[in-house]
Homo-oligomer: A and B are copies of this chain.
């Protein structure tokens, strides 16, 4: 099955384009769970397990953020391996690692995330050039999401500025990805911030077939209405991520998993008009 088929299947079977970002931060993990699992080593995987259990009917994808695991070194990587195994096989596992390096190093990252962790997709940083992406492009079962127009304030520093006569460095990157995508087996998608709708349109126009990973919904403040307008004529499929707004919806309440479920449903419903185009 190629990546697009996997993605369509995951969306059909959940009626959702929601991706749940797994950024497990012990400071914010609900107190009742911390009391039950005092060691980080047990706490983080158990938190992720309960979040996955509580949301899996409503989410087509999960996106573990490598930084939140790496912060615990080799122990953290073991937790990430455990969490990788928890993601249901008919949901997408998107490894959010934002790697980007030259050929022989890129090959090692490919080994890490695709061969070892068995991710379905990986986020990549293209700054060093297109040659850093090439090692990832030969496997049709995998998706890549390349940082193109992110949702943080700092995207104004470089990505939103004009470049080579284009509206932005982001839209120029998108054009280059579009050309590369025609020749590659993997699907070369983009990370597009939901909070930057004016900036986003030329980027989508430059790579119209690209599947999209969209952070910035929820705590980063992205507007669903703006997003709906942006993607309405786009041919690729948007995957809409929310991390903290879902993970920590229950505060320190005993029934926090129920509130996680409710928030996932609300989130999914908030962009059901977008999702309806793909089911």
Contacts and interface: CB of A to CB of B under 8 A. Distances in A.
Interface of A: 23, 25, 65, 67-68, 70-78, 80-81, 98-106, 108-109, 111-112, 116-117, 125-132, 147, 150, 152-159, 161-164, 169, 172-173, 176
* Of listed A75, A81, A128, residue having the most chain B CB within 10 A: A128
A172 B158 CA distance: 9
Contacts of A159: 127-129
9 contacts: A23-B105, A68-B108, A72-B116, A98-B125, A125-B128, A129-B150, A158-B169, A163-B163, A163-B169
Contacts of A169: 158, 163, 169
B74 A78 contact: yes
A37 to B, nearest CB: 19
B65 A105 contact: yes
A142 to B, nearest CB: 16
Given A112-B73, A117-B73, A130 B157 contact: yes
B23 A104 contact: yes
Contact of A147 (B80, B127, B164): B127
Contacts of A75: 74
Contacts of A156: 129
A70 B109 contact: yes
A67 B162 CA distance: 32
A96 to B, nearest CB: 9
Given A128-B155, A129-B159, 11 more contacts: A23-B104, A68-B105, A68-B108, A74-B74, A74-B77, A98-B99, A128-B147, A128-B150, A128-B152, A130-B154, A158-B169
B176 A127 contact: no
